[in-house]
Structure 1
Amino acid sequence: MRSLSLAACASVLVLAVDASAQAPKYPIAGDSAMSSVQVIAPARRVFQEDLDTVRGQYALSNGWRLKVDSAANGIRATIDNQRPIYLVALSKDKFVSPDGNVDMVFNRGDYGEDMVMSYVPDPRLAQVIVVRATLAQR
């Protein structure tokens, strides 16, 4: 009987650890250690009017709030109260972080107010999360 109760406790502990591992992780801000080969296109010069079209607050599909501001040759994206992530412009609608872990494509949808963000939550895993957003406020 004692071994049955120990087995039950162990299985509950394993489930609790697994459940905590499933919590959504924010995108990594900054350089991350990973061993891979990356080919990144050079940053494109964007005009202020291009940056103005993507600037604003977005309601992400997973419940997060994204604030996008213009920055030198790119944008600064802040998710909830996390550290800002700097993204460089690849085109007037596509921005990517210098380490390649986060990219955002703006001006999607019928009216150009939707955005898609994809990010790598943990560079040790082969996983990319895609989150969709709608412009909430300019």
Structure 2
Amino acid sequence: MRPLLLLPASLLLIATGADAQTMSYPPPDTAPIASVQVSAPAKVVRIRPTEARKISGAYDMSNGWNLRVSTTSRYIDATIDDEQPIRLAAVAPYRFVSGDGNVTMEFNRGDGDDMRMSYVPDLRLGQRIVLESRMAQR
């Protein structure tokens, strides 16, 4: 009698196995894969008080311009002659860049009083002007 009970149970297991073989595979994901680019915000570089003392002041540029530099803890304002000030953010010690990247200034070069400024005079031209200066007498 027992063998008769085992036979239907084994047939039932075989039948469920056959059913599993006829199941369809999961459908492929048809949604497009989106790509995301993540960039870290620019590192905030603070201007130390000793650095501010070294770069604040007036500079006589090599082309005859007069440059005045005033500092805060995160940026400098550079005023050439009687023009509007240009705000430059600190990106490294003694290195500053304008928001659009067209003006850069490097201070504390050479013997400590030298400065290099480079700028793009006209965005339509592939040109960058580089001027150097020494700090004027205080």
Indicate the residue corresponding to 2:60 in structure 1: 59
CA shift, 1:135, in A, is 0.5
* 8 A contact 1:61–1:133 mirrored in 2: yes
What percentage of residue pairs aligned between the two structures are identical? 49
Q: Could you tell me how far 1:102 is from its partner in structure 2?
A: 0.3
Aligned ranges 1:1-138 → 2 under 5 Å: 41-109=42-110, 111-138=111-138
Deviations 1:55-85 (A, max 9, x none): 1100000000000001340110000000000
Q: State the Cα distance separating 1:49 from its structure 2 match.
A: 2.1
Letter aligned with residue 112 of structure 2: G
Kindly indicate whether the alpha-carbon contact (under 8 Å) linking 1:64 and 1:80 is maintained by their aligned counterparts in 2: yes
CA distance in 2, matches of 1:65, 1:119: 16
Q: Residue 48 of structure 1: CA displacement?
A: 2.2
**Deviant stretches of 4+, over 6 Å:** none
Query: Gaps (5+ residues) in structure 2?
Result: 1-40
* Contact 1:51–1:74, Cα closer than 8 Å, also in 2: no
Paired with 1:65 and 1:79, the residues of 2 have a C-alpha distance of 6
**Alignment coverage as a number of residue pairs:** 98
Task: Give the SS at the match of 1:95.
Answer: strand
The offset of 1:50, in angstroms, is 1.4
TM (normalized to structure 2)? 0.66
What residue ranges of structure 1 are gaps of 5+ in the alignment? 1-39
- CA distance in 2 between partners of 1:103 and 1:41 (Å): 16
- In 2, are the aligned partners of 1:76 and 1:85 still within 8 Å (CA)? yes
C-alpha spacing 1:98/1:43, structure 2 compared with 1 (3 Å): farther
Aligned partner of 2:120: which letter? Answer: V
TM-score with structure 1 setting the length: 0.66
Query: Bigger relative contact order, structure 1 or 2, given CA contacts below 8 A and separation 6+?
Result: 1
